[in-house]
Amino acid sequence: MLSVDNNKKKIKVGLLGAGIVGTGVLKALSKHDIIEVKKVGVRDLNKKRNLPKEINGSTLTTNLDDIVNDPEIDIVVEVLGGIEPARELVTKAIKNKKHIVTANKDLIATYGAELFDLAREQNVQIQFEASVCGGIPIINTLKQTLSANTFTKIMGILNGTTNYILTEMLNKNESFEKCLKNAQALGYAESDPTNDISGKDAAYKIAILASIAFNQRIKINEVYTEGIEKITPVDIQLAEELGYRLKLIGLAAKDNDNRIDIRVHPAFIKKTNPLASVFGGNNGVLVRGDLVGELTLIGLGAGELPTASSVAGDINLLVAQISHSGKPHPQFICQHTDYAKIKPISESINCYFLRIKTEDKPGVVGQLGTIFGKNEVSINALTQRGISTDKTASITLLTHSVKEEKVQNAINEIKKTGSVKQIENVIRVLE
């Protein structure tokens, strides 16, 4: 807990938003006698909220401009979510030379470059620990504790909603659609879960982590993104049988040409991988550095108090700097301005799992083998799994490591053969 001499001036904070995360932040800040929450911006003054007793009617306001323009407020905390009005308000606050703490991964991943440049011009900081993985202290760990490392890879389970759904599909052998509805009923998924299940939320987060780890900016529209909508219980069970676990993975790695291979997609990962044991709404991040080797951080990726923990930690960090020097520490100011060269997904190298529905007749397996061989795709294992009532066979295969472009060329050729009814799924295998 931060404490202060009673003769010292308190640091004044303005909060944009008093939803689930905002309420948690206010509870956390109520423990600190050096911090005064001067104003809290809300949409509805009459809404019932479980706020600390220090927050009363005179603290709440619906005029959010009053917060970002208040000359007495030192730190503006943005927990509104979404792009607008958060972007406009944060921009105004920075121009008014206020430090920013935000939990907004959409904002940082999409408009971080312009906001960080503006903050550097105004000599203020933007802290954003809570924008990735809720209560897991991954951002400041990369910036501070592991700053001596040269990073080669970051991979993680970065979205709790999808991890909860995949965990339920594994444990209950139920469809994606049913597990999604259950997740919505229990509050693990939004009524509109598109950003989560499409992989977009995880893409924001891996873009943020990659920009820190590799000291280069990432354009969010260049992050290859694929969600879990096509995943079935069959895929999950086959992964288990083969010694893997199916997860939605965000991956960023640097190749020999200094390009960044950055993507989000379902993947088979080995059960020995620490991320394979991250279940339910938890998140996990695996980092590989030249000094530390591999390090994995696991914890709650969302929720009122875990996220508030990260927001309050950022506020404490700023308060300590303001109280002692009044200036932001250079280590916490974004210094890089170059954009990363992104490796196209077609050039990525992976193993692949394919599930193919074919006619049940002699020569089909040989035909598939010929097509894969012609496209320089080496098959590691192939299994035919019985005959369906419609006289079709299910063939599953694993490839050796190969460039994505070659696999896609083979798939396109396979689709043209009359004996193949459907490519039921193609899932990358991360070794």
CATH 3.40.50.720-classified regions of the chain: 11-134+304-332
Query: Tokens representing 104?
Result: 């907004």
Query: Tokens representing 406?
Result: 């070659």
d(CA 187, CA 426): 30
Distances (CA, A) of 2 to 14, 35, 313, 390: 18, 9, 11, 69
Can you give the pLDDT at residue 329? 67
- Quick one: which H or E segment has residue 84? none
Query: Tokens representing 285?
Result: 């991040």
Known catalytic residue: 406?
A: no
Out of 3.40.109.10, 1.20.59.20, 3.30.420.140, 3.30.360.10, select the CATH number for domain 138-300. Answer: 3.30.360.10
Q: First CA to last CA across the chain, in angstroms?
A: 43
CATH 3.30.360.10-classified regions of the chain: 138-300
Count other C-beta atoms under 10 Å from residue 410's C-beta. Answer: 22
Can you give the pLDDT at residue 3? 45
Half-sphere exposure of 380 (CA within 13 A, CB side): 12
d(CA 35, CA 29): 7
Can you give the pLDDT at residue 240? 97
CATH 3.30.70.260-classified regions of the chain: 346-430
CATH code of the domain made up of 11-134+304-332: 3.40.50.720
DSSP 143: I
Question: What is the identity of the amino acid at 317?
Answer: L
Opening angle at CA 262, ends 260 and 265, nearest 5? 160
Name the CATH superfamily housing domain 346-430.
ACT domain (3.30.70.260)
d(CA 126, CA 100): 5
Would you call 293 exposed, middle or buried from its count of C-beta atoms within 10 A (0-12, 13-18, 19+)?
exposed
- Quick one: which H or E segment has residue 419? none
Question: What is the identity of the amino acid at 249?
Answer: I
Strand-pair partners of 395: 356, 384
Per-residue pLDDT of the chain (431 residues; tens, 9 = 90+): 444 454 567 899 999 999 999 999 999 998 888 899 999 999 999 888 888 888 888 899 999 999 999 999 999 999 999 999 999 999 999 999 999 999 999 999 999 999 999 999 999 999 999 999 999 999 999 999 999 999 999 999 999 999 999 999 999 999 999 999 999 998 889 999 999 999 999 999 999 999 999 999 999 999 999 999 999 999 999 999 999 999 999 999 999 889 999 999 999 999 999 999 999 999 999 999 999 999 999 999 988 999 999 999 999 999 988 887 766 666 667 777 899 999 999 999 999 999 999 998 889 999 999 999 999 999 999 998 777 767 889 999 999 999 999 999 999 999 999 899 999 999 999 98
d(CA 415, CA 336): 45
d(CA 133, CA 140): 12
Can you give the pLDDT at residue 414? 96
| DSSP-based helix, strand, coil % in the chain, nearest 5 | 35, 25, 35
Can you give the pLDDT at residue 7? 53
Give me the sheet containing 75-78, strands edge to edge: 60-61, 35-41, 11-16, 75-78, 99-102, 126-127
Can you give the pLDDT at residue 9? 77
Long-range contacts of 138-145 (CB under 8 A, 24+ apart): 138/209, 138/285, 138/287, 138/297, 139/208, 139/209, 139/212, 140/313, 140/317, 141/297, 142/209, 142/212, 142/213, 142/287, 143/212, 143/331, 143/332, 144/331
Residue of 39, 105, 200, 205 marked catalytic: 205
> At a CB cut-off of 8 Å and minimum separation 6, what does 202 contact?
158, 159, 162, 225, 248, 250, 264
Can you give the pLDDT at residue 384? 86
d(CA 79, CA 21): 7
Long-range contacts of 362-366 (CB under 8 A, 24+ apart): 363/419, 364/393, 364/395, 364/419, 364/420, 365/395
d(CA 428, CA 107): 29
